[in-house]
Structure formats: C-alpha cells, structure tokens
Structure 1
C-alpha cells in the first residue's frame, strides 16, 4: 500500500541529495517563525465572534474556488457543492462528491495544501480521502471542528499567526477589528485593509448607490466629485485610526491617469448617471488609482494593486452563484507604461510604498523587477492566485532576483479565504525559498551563512518592511 507523502520532511526540496541537505538546513531556520499574512480574505467577524465552523463542506469546500472550479470542470454542478449558499446537496453529499474526485487534484497547488490540512490540521490519513472513506473522514472533521480548541481564535494561536490582514469595504465600521484589538487575551494582530473597488468601478450594478452613500457618510457636506474625493480620504483616515496599514485595489489594468479636476468630475457625473462608456469607466478607474497613490503619500497606507483578471466571465454562474466562484480568467498587462504617470509623481516620494501583483508571469522579469530595482517605492508582490503554487513560486524567485535581488520582495501573500490552508501555504513558500537559496549555495553563488540570513529576511523581514509592520 502506498504511504502518505503529506508529512514527508523533504517535500518540495531538491532531488539532488547535496542540495537537499542545504535546503533542509535553511528551512529549519524559518520553519517555526510566526506567520505574517498582510493580505487575505478571512472575515474578521469570524475571528471576533469565535463561533464553531458550521461543517466540513462549509469550511473546506464551498468557499474555496480553487477546489470547486476543478470539480466544475469535470461536470459537477456548483449547486451540488453548496457554492454561493446553494443547497443542491447536503454537506455530507457534497463532501462525498469531493472525496470521490480527490484524485483530480494530484499535482495541483490546491491538492498540496489540502493534503497538508488533512494531515496536520485534522489528523487524517490523506490516503483515506476517497469514495470508500468519504463519510468517515467527514465525521472525523466534523468532530474536530466541534472541539473548543478548534475555534478561530484558538487556531490563530495554534497556527502561529502574528499578523492577519483582512479585506474590507470602505464603509465598514471595523467593529470586529476593534473588538479583537481591545481584547488583552488575544495576541495576534488582525488588521483591516481599505478596498474601494466597488466605489470606483462604474460598471458595478450598484456603483451610483455606493458612491452616493460614501459621499453622504464622509464627504464633509460636499456634493459630487469633490465630496467623493473628500469621502475617500476621510474613510482612509478612519481605517488608519483603526489599525490599517494598506489599501488594496483590484483594478482592471495597472493603468494610472492624471486627469484635471474638471475632467474627472465630468466622468464621475456620467458614472453616477450610468451613461459612461466602458472606455470612460476605465479612464476614471485609472485616474482614481493615481488619486489613491496621492492619498497614500499623505496618509502612509501601503498601496497594493491586483490587476489583470477578467472577472466573472460566465454570466450564468455569476447570476446563479455570485462572484468569486471560479470563473475569473487572467490576461496580459502593461505595468511599465500603465504606472508611468503615478511613478513620475510619486515613485520617489518619501514613505510611499507600492506593491504590484500579477498573474501575467511575463512581467516579473520584464517590468516588475526592473521597476522595483529602481524606484524606492516599489516592492515586488509575491506570486498571486494562479501563481501561488510551488513551481510558479520558483519561477518567480528566479525571474526577479537577478534584477532586483532579494530585498525588494513583499514577502509571501496567501490571499486566501480558506482559513485552515494558511499554515500550509506559508510553509510551501518557505520550502520553495529554501530550495532556491540551496541551489545558489551549491553553485557557490551565495555563501551558506548569507543564505541563512536571506531566508529569515524573506520570511519575516520583507513583509514587515514592505507593509510597514
């Protein structure tokens, strides 16, 4: 009978024995360092309320589009997986569908993370994730999540998470964050992140209502575009007061545009009226990326950008199950040209930090690393989404290091809604970094002593530096 590979001490390490020994030593240096997660999508209220997780399917399957999209590609109806609140099957029946198809995840990043979760978090034999053992594994996880020691606050401590940033609506009261910050018995830092996308994109169905509410709430009594800008700045200040260190922007492209006040106001009026063309909507978004950078220079929030994704490409799935359900598709981007207006004015501004992320691998070595290799404001965003996988992370490290070195990185970003996958994702990144550095040591390009210093900085120093922690 085959043995489990989930707990193999050399997973993701080089096959060459000599290089593997070096990787082992490097990984041991950082294996137990605290997790710093400066960008993700875990709900702060879940942690603050500290309620038990509802069931194994709701915890591990339904909200994880990495998992559900694979099953959908093989003909499974998303309703059967309880995606978007649908109840086409019971939680146990959904789990049985997943277990029967577990073999589909071999070689995938999501399969790697899940295998680690099953063994290290839930104490399961991952060889028993199959049709025969589906109900018994479901019941084992069900019993585990019912334990008091498996509630979110306890897991934050068990996972050794020192910092966890959430992603939050600009008008969120941040009450859950305040409760956690005020609790002397809770050591981890749970930080809000200002995410204004829905208040910037004209093509959102409720843009006008959102923009109007933003102005009414925080516009200093001003109307129109002037009130809108004032409200953005005021809500950013509110987030800073409540612990935020960054703003995040899921822009369509990395384009920035410096419009006059009157040009921007005219576009904003069209956006409210629903008469703006798509090109005008993109122009306004690009202008607001420039404005968000200008605000960041003033208030100190780190600006992160996640462009280059065709969102919600399948209309029926969007209508039935909602957004973030697995049908977003990457496209190529132009960072160097797109960021030119913003970097011309703010690229060397004291204290401004800008972190570009991409899922267009071609820009790592061609654009992002050269930008970070010149502008003191630019830090290289870690591999994200389709690229936060072992081989892609190795390609990333190879692509950017020769131009920008190790010190210009953001640190690993797990970007996850799947709370229990956080330790596995961070450990995978640490193993990849160890493997990359081990090769440089074996090739006599970096000393082993220096490699030990570098890997600690990559895991711990880089996110603290880039995100001003």
Structure 2
C-alpha cells in the first residue's frame, strides 16, 4: 500500500514511475490559460494567511463548502479568514473522491513543505501556523510561488478594453524569471444578446477614441485593441461560448442593422443573434490567423443558474454547471467559414460537456491541413473535467481518434497562485496511462519513444505553440 500522496502517487507501474520521476517531474510549466490577476504579479503580492490565499475568490472551494453545509457567512461573507479556513478544514474529510482533496494536500506539501499532513479539524491549527510562517518568507510572494513551480509562461485572461499596463511594465523585465502575457477575451463584444452589450460598446468606443455605430466600426475597434495586445506580448485569445452559433454569411447591411437595433436597446431574434455571433468570430479569427495567434474556444457552460447567488455575489461564484446542447454542426460550420478562405488560426477546442469529447476530437481532425502538427487541438479536460477520470477520458479519446503526440497538454484555468500542482497531477496521470500501455503490450517499451512522447505532451508542444523554439 502506498502512502498518501507518496512519491509514486498515481504511478502504478515501473514504466510510469520511471517516466514521471526521470522525465516529467523536472519539466518547466507553460500555463497558457489562467485567470491570475496581472496586477498581483506586477505588485508581487503577498498574503497574510493560508485562509486568504486559499479561499479568496476560489469558487471551486466555495461550491464544495456549500455542498457540505457551510453557511455563506463562512464562505464569502463577513467571517474572517481564520474562521473560513477552519470551516474548510472541517469539511476536508467529506471531500474524499473530489479533486479538491488531492489538490489541497498537494499544495500544502509542494508550497509549504507539509509532506504527509492531512487537513481536518484536529490538524487545522498546526497547519495554519506552519503555512502562515512560510507565507511570510520571500519565496511565497506572487512571483515567488510561480518561480517555485518553474513556470515559464503565464497567460492571463484580459478584456479588450483593459489597459494592459502591468503586462507592458513587465514585458521586458529580466528580473521576473518568467513571461506574463495577456490573452484577448472579447466575449462582451460578440454576446449581443446580453443586457450589458450597449454599454460595453460605448466603453469600447471610448477606449479606441471613435464611435462604434456600424459592424465595420466594431471590428475595426476590436482589431485595434488586438494590436495593442500583440504589442504587449499576446500569443493567444480566448472565448467563453455558452451557446455556439456559427451564423450565416451575410452582408454589411444586415450586420449594421442588427447592431443598430441592439444599440437602440431593441431585442433580437435567434437568427439575428447567430448571424452576429458568427460574423464577429469569423472576423476576429481572420485577424488572429494574420497575426499568428492561437484561438481558444471554451464551449458549453451554463452560467449563473442560481438567481439568489448571482444577485448576492455576481458571476464566478459557484453557480455554473455543464450545458448539454449539441455543438457538432455549429462548430464545424464556424471552423469551415474560416478554413474556406485560408484564415483558420491555430485553434484549441474545449467542451465542458464530456459527452462531447468525441465531437471535439473528430472535429479537430477535419481541419488539420499539414501546416503545423495538431493545428486544431482537442483541449484538455476543462473545469469540471480536470480531475482524474475527466482528463483520462479526454486523453484516451484524443489518442484513439486523433494524435495525442501533438497535444499541447495541461493548463490551470485558475485564479489561484497555489494551483500549479495541477500540472503535476496531470503529468502523473499521463505517465501512468503510458505505463499501462506498456504493461499491457499496447506500445513498445522503448525509452526514447516514450520519453519523447512525455516531454512533448507535458512541455515541448505547449512551449512551441506559446513561446516558440
């Protein structure tokens, strides 16, 4: 029996253990998509307690705490962070089987040296004191935590209207020790159906310094902001898409009419919404391809489902879940609109609904054109799927229906500076999968072959895509 989170955690075969310990464990991290606040990296923020760095803004933990019966006062409310931490520690024994149990204990070990510690009400006080003592040391600032994990690149998620002042300030700073790059996230500019769309367009117009009254004005403003992002180091873009709409090819007059109606606070029908969504995404996709940027599409969340929670805390508070809408026809149509004109950028597709994994993988296969290995990617297990079963399912289907050798691997998609052991979690799982293939005779026990695969999937493919050679 292995010890809890021991050296061979998740590594069931000799090949898996060799691959992880000799190949994967020492590789740097390319975290090409996350939600870390750039201002905290710029300020090299420090934290006064484990409660604050663990629980402030982490809706994964908030959701689990509510499920375990913790009242909102001790989750996001007025309780101090020691009380919130104690509440989280008390429910830890209830989290067996949930990835939070593994992630939290990996974080205690990897960042604070608390190897073998098991968090519960009885151990909470000692762990609190030990972790807080480490947080007071220089290596546990925002930058220090990233350096501890050998992070080479951090891709934040940023609105087109953002100034990017922190990215610009740090772009050529040799003391940083890693790259922080912005990612262009234009959701508010194409979700024309949302209540805040007209006010957002006014904000965008103010930032670019000219009115946005036509579709050409809008795309011109977005491309101007995109170029600002590229100047600040941008290498990737991202789009959160609850309902995927490809729309139809239509002329400027129709698109101007749709935009004009919405700016006048008139409602639109579904066909108008779809045509506008598709037109903006196609226009932007062409701009991404021309600039060599990666396009990411995160498809299939249903958001803010609990009205009372949304009214109390706003978005990203733990009220989101998996949508089950079909995506195959719309996704293929959208990518084809770009591909027909030779303007499909390198693309990563993510489906929150795991039953769509095969759709994502086989769609990605449709649009490989030989220009770059894995030009269209089936992205890693996302959000509710970045746990053991979800990641293994995604990689198994990618391996069987596509080419896992070209996969750009794991990302944190996190708001937490303590989330980077998730890359270790992924790497251990992947090495175990490959080890099982060897054990069952599915692949040869060829060290060069296997080592190359592990290095590529865990590091080199992502480095090639997001950093360059």
Fold agreement, TM-score > 0.5: yes
Structure 2 CA distance for aligned equivalents of residues 65 and 312 of structure 1: 12
SS at 1:162's partner residue? strand
SS at 2:69's partner residue? coil
1:443 paired residue among 433, 440, 443? 440
2:235 paired residue among 230, 237, 245? 245
**Alignment root-mean-square deviation, CA:** 2.1
**What is residue 162 of structure 2 aligned with on the other side?**
172
2:418 paired residue among 417, 420, 438? 420
SS at 1:276's partner residue? coil
Asked whether 1:261 is paired with 2:256, we answer no
1:222 is displaced (CA, Å) by: 5.8
Kept after mapping to 2: 8 A contact 1:267/1:276: no
Kept after mapping to 1: 8 A contact 2:109/2:115: yes
1:126 is displaced (CA, Å) by: 5.6
**Runs of 5+ consecutive residues of structure 1 not aligned to the other structure:** 15-19
Structure 1 CA distance for aligned equivalents of residues 30 and 96 of structure 2: 28
Asked whether 1:319 is paired with 2:318, we answer no
1:128 is displaced (CA, Å) by: 4.5
Asked whether 1:407 is paired with 2:405, we answer yes
**Runs of 5+ consecutive residues of structure 2 not aligned to the other structure:** 369-374
Structure 1 CA distance for aligned equivalents of residues 74 and 193 of structure 2: 30
Matches within 5 A, 1:11-410: 11-14=9-12, 20-28=13-21, 29-81=23-75, 83=76, 86-87=77-78, 89-124=79-114, 127-218=117-208, 223-257=213-247, 258-277=249-268, 279=270, 280-347=272-339, 349=342, 352-365=345-358, 367-376=359-368, 377-410=375-408
Kept after mapping to 1: 8 A contact 2:60/2:318: yes
SS at 1:415's partner residue? coil
1:154 is displaced (CA, Å) by: 1.8
**What is residue 17 of structure 1 aligned with on the other side?**
none
Deviations 1:325-354 (A, max 9, x none): 111011124343112333223237367211
Kept after mapping to 2: 8 A contact 1:297/1:346: no
SS at 2:296's partner residue? strand
SS at 1:379's partner residue? strand
Structure 2 CA distance for aligned equivalents of residues 320 and 196 of structure 1: 26
Structure 1 CA distance for aligned equivalents of residues 139 and 336 of structure 2: 51
SS at 2:152's partner residue? strand
TM-score (structure 1 length as normaliser): 0.91
Structure 2 CA distance for aligned equivalents of residues 457 and 145 of structure 1: 34
SS at 2:180's partner residue? strand
Structure 1 CA distance for aligned equivalents of residues 402 and 40 of structure 2: 38
SS at 2:378's partner residue? coil
Call closer, same or farther: CA 1:464–1:120 in 2, change over 3 Å.
Answer: closer
1:298 is displaced (CA, Å) by: 2.3
